[in-house]
């Protein structure tokens, strides 16, 4: 996040190899919860405040520079929203039957929330912590201060009350960010295949065994025009 400690181009190439999987386990949410706010126009899951927060978040993690537009223009906020609104956000693949017991830290996420609920709880807790410290919402902070605040959250140094913000950022937000950057543009992120072009990934088809031999150590011409799922539909 901080270009002074890790040049952005190197950072983006490193996260390209990161796993897109989010190991989470959840149980049924408690009954009688307050109804969710209506999603903002253009989003399927995010409320207006959550949308503003997410847009600020991805812009801090992916600021505009000479290589790419900012995170919103790259479609990263849209990717977050679509994932949270779909089967992933609902926890369709998670075992969510009670009782929910406290697990060991190495077991990962152990809260009785779906990923969508966990994300929204983290947004609310982050906004509360931000208001307590800065008397303003996260999306109102200037970029350097917001970046430093995110790093504190990632290091587990920000109290989120009942929400473990360090775990929220490292096990949900950051994996969603890396997926948003490098997933097929069909899913909303990586708009214009900008990150594929940045790292020289040719996209689909996924079988490039002959090209790997022919172009080993050489620029691959196909990387200039990567192919997505939509190019074959």
Task: Summarize the confidence of residues 28-35 as an average pLDDT.
Answer: 36
Task: Summarize the confidence of residues 199-216 as an average pLDDT.
Answer: 82
Q: pLDDT-based confidence at 25, cuts 50/70/90?
A: very low
Q: pLDDT-based confidence at 12, cuts 50/70/90?
A: low
Give yes or no for residue 134 having a pLDDT over 70. Answer: yes
Instruction: Report the distance separating Cα 149 and Cα 65, nearest Å.
Output: 21
Give yes or no for residue 22 having a pLDDT over 80. Answer: no
Give yes or no for residue 130 having a pLDDT over 50. Answer: yes
Task: Summarize the confidence of residues 181-188 as an average pLDDT.
Answer: 95
Instruction: Report the distance separating Cα 229 and Cα 51, nearest Å.
Output: 27
Of 58, 36, 59, nearest in space to 48 by CA: 36
Higher pLDDT, 198 or 1: 198
Q: pLDDT-based confidence at 188, cuts 50/70/90?
A: very high
∠ CA 187-192-196, nearest 5°, is 85
Query: How many C-alpha atoms does 57 have within 13 Å on its Cβ side?
Result: 28
Q: What percent of the chain has pLDDT over 90?
A: 57
The pLDDT tens digits of the residues spanning 84-119 come to: 999 999 999 887 777 777 777 777 667 789 999 999
Instruction: Report the distance separating Cα 74 and Cα 91, nearest Å.
Output: 26
Q: What are the φ/ψ torsions at residue 93 (nearest 5 degrees)?
A: -100, 10
Supply the mean pLDDT for the chain.
Answer: 83
Residue 32: per-residue pLDDT: 35
The pLDDT tens digits of the residues spanning 58-91 come to: 999 999 999 889 999 999 999 999 999 999 999 9
Residue 29: per-residue pLDDT: 34
All residues at 6 or more sequence positions from 53 whose CB lies less than 8 Å from its CB, including other chains: 123, 126, 127, 137, 138, 139
Residue 40: per-residue pLDDT: 53
- Number of helices (H) and strands (E), helices first, in the chain? 10, 0
Q: pLDDT-based confidence at 17, cuts 50/70/90?
A: very low
Return the structure tokens found at 29.
């949410």
Instruction: Report the distance separating Cα 168 and Cα 173, nearest Å.
Output: 6
All residues at 6 or more sequence positions from 174 whose CB lies less than 8 Å from its CB, including other chains: 154
Residue 140: per-residue pLDDT: 97
Range of lowest pLDDT (28-32, 100-104, 115-119, 189-193): 28-32
Give yes or no for residue 177 having a pLDDT over 80. Answer: yes
Instruction: Report the distance separating Cα 216 and Cα 194, nearest Å.
Output: 23
Residue 204: per-residue pLDDT: 81
């Amino acid at each position: 996040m901080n270009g002074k400690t890790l040049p952005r181009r190197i950072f983006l190439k490193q996260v390209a190899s990161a796993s897109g999987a989010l190991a989470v386990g959840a149980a049924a949410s408690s009954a009688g919860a307050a109804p969710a706010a209506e999603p903002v126009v253009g989003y399927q899951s995010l409320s207006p405040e959550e949308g503003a927060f997410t847009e600020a978040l991805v812009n801090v993690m992916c600021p505009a520079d000479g290589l790419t537009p900012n995170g919103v223009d790259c479609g990263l906020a849209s990717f977050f929203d679509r994932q949270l609104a779909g089967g992933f956000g609902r926890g369709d693949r998670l075992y969510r039957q009670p009782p929910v017991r406290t697990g060991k830290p190495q077991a990962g996420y152990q809260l009785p929330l779906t990923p969508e609920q966990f994300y929204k709880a983290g947004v609310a807790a982050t906004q509360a912590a931000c208001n307590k410290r800065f008397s303003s919402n996260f999306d109102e902070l200037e970029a350097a201060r917001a970046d430093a605040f995110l790093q504190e959250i990632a290091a587990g140094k920000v109290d989120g009350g009942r929400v473990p913000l360090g775990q929220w950022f490292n096990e949900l937000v950051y994996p969603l960010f890396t997926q948003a950057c490098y997933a097929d543009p069909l899913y909303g992120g990586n708009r214009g295949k900008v990150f594929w072009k940045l790292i020289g990934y040719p996209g689909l088809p996924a079988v490039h065994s002959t090209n790997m031999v022919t172009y080993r150590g050489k620029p691959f011409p196909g990387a200039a025009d990567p192919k997505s799922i939509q190019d074959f539909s």
